[in-house]
A and B are shown apart, each in its own frame.
Chain A
């Protein structure tokens, strides 16, 4: 019964792991992967000699850290707020519309962003900036705005998704806690901090842990599509994934791209173990394994 999936995983996931050796080789088409000569750590030397290695690592880590923190914090706040609304169906409507952006592909999102940020015709340059008497900005050419644009879009797209998790979790908290708190004279704020938040901690921990394990992997769609592949802003929009992709398919540089991929896989893997270990030290039960 399990055979098809087992075979699939073998080919799709395990076989490529063997390909990691490309990082240590100087691959050419004639000899193929296994016939090509080894070149030791040269690919890695080339990779880390470039400024790019530092930039993409910094970008990947910083963006992901911001994404993780903002997604969870905002989703929890949203869930708390939703929980306090007294109407029956309005929260459901809000949730439905918050969830909508998750549904869209990054290609669509890139169109939406373009509609706002296009230099000549975008809504921002034509309708919003003039209101403040500001000159149009060449959004897709200026690196400095993107550290704000990208997190904003990430939140816009994912907040609704994470909010659902927390709303569901909050539904399982017994009302008795709150009733007892009210009797003891607790304010809403105190209830939120002392009851709801601790009860949400397992879920928050699991989600954060899972995401930290993937902190070296960026959302390729977000970083490739939304900036419309504009080279001028690579310094703030290039992440490890986009770098690997561009090196592989645009430059045909197997060595560098596989060195970067190797770097990503191994470090990512170590980070999962590390974050799990840290969580285990703090609160044994909440760890993944």
Chain B
């Protein structure tokens, strides 16, 4: 019987040529996904003049670390934005995931009064919102959060989609556990803290990852609310630098000094831009191999259960 099954598996696979074609395609696509970053890396390590005359190449025609030297000479702005982004990401993720879990858990309990309306309250926001103008006014006029770090944190705290995913997960926890705890005299918060949440680590981790990613990648909130250069997020800094190198140097005297100091290039804008990009995403690219496993696993959980 075992032999029969094995042979069947062999029979049901694609023709070897097709299989090879699939592999070839995926290798091509993999390269497509990774190659753009390599181009940027290469340009960031190139000499500015050669880049200007010959264009971007995958292998630097003339190797140079000048762009990075320039960036690190006055790295205050970069460091500031890194600090801001890290702070916003960590606090936002912690608070947000907690808030979402605290809403999703009661929603998963069948004995919650007004369960229907409360669920609707959340999911309606996925369908209908007041638009950008109102959103902006609420935060700037009503809450007075213009130029405040809170404006970078608060909007991304709660994503109704994740509440939905968490609720589904919590529903799958056997109610016997909860009943047993109640018999033992545990209060609601105690039950949540000691039973439900330890069991929910996979889903909490997944939601945390996605939330952290949305905070880390955010540039829109800085665009909308922040005018003080000291408080912009990292991605926003990268965005601004793309359009205007001057934005990066808070110390314009240094920039002038470099230009006047006899260096043949005034402001190595092309290579600096690419170096800025690498500096901005470097940590993420390094962290990606570790985290992607959890992202994919989390999505799998969500897809199967949801």
A residues at B contact (CB < 8 Å):
1-2, 4-6, 8-9, 11-20, 22, 32-33, 81-82, 84-86, 90, 93-101, 103-108, 110-112, 114-116, 118, 120-123, 125-127, 156, 160-161, 164-165, 167-169, 171-172, 178-179, 182, 188, 191, 203, 213, 220-221, 225, 228-229, 241, 244-245, 248-249, 254, 257-258, 260-262, 264-265, 268-269, 272
Q: How far is the CB of A226 from chain B (nearest CB, A)?
A: 11
CA of A228 to CA of B19 in the docked complex: distance in angstroms? 41
Chain B residues in the interface with A (C-beta under 8 A): 8, 11-14, 18-19, 22-23, 25-26, 29-30, 32-34, 36-37, 39-40, 43, 51-52, 54-58, 99-100, 102-103, 105-107, 118, 121-122, 125, 127-138, 141-143, 154-155, 157-158, 160, 163, 188-189, 192, 213, 216-220, 224, 235-236, 238-239, 242-243, 270, 273-274, 277, 280-281, 284, 288-289, 292-293, 295-296, 299-300, 303-304
The 8 Å CB contact of B102, one of A5, A105, A160, A249, is A5
Bound CA span A88–B303, Å: 21
Residue pair B130, A8 in contact (C-beta under 8 Å)? no
- Interfacial chain A residues near B292, Cβ < 8 Å: 96, 99-100, 103
Task: Given A9-B158, A14-B125, decide whether A248 and B130 contact each other with a Cβ distance below 8 A.
Answer: no
A15-B130, A96-B292 as given contacts; A111 in contact with B270, CB under 8 Å: no
A257 to B292, CA, bound (A): 39
CB distance from B60 to the nearest CB of A (A): 13
Contact among B25, B37, B224, B304 with A112 in the assembled complex (CB-CB below 8 Å) = B37
Q: Is the CB of B281 within 8 A of A104?
A: yes
Q: Which residues of B contact A220 (CB under 8 A)?
A: 220
Counting residue pairs across A and B whose Cβ atoms lie within 8 Å, the total is: 265
CB-CB < 8 A to A171: which residues of B?
A: 300, 304
Can you list 8 residue pairs at the A/B interface with Cβ under 8 Å? A17-B129, A84-B22, A85-B22, A100-B34, A115-B39, A121-B52, A122-B56, A179-B12
* Chain B residues with CB below 8 A from A97, complex form: 29-30, 33-34
CB atoms of A16 and B130 under 8 A apart = yes
A158 to B239, CA, bound (A): 21
Cβ–Cβ < 8 Å partners of A179 in chain B: 8, 12
What residues of chain A lie closer than 8 Å to B220, measured between beta carbons?
A: 220-221
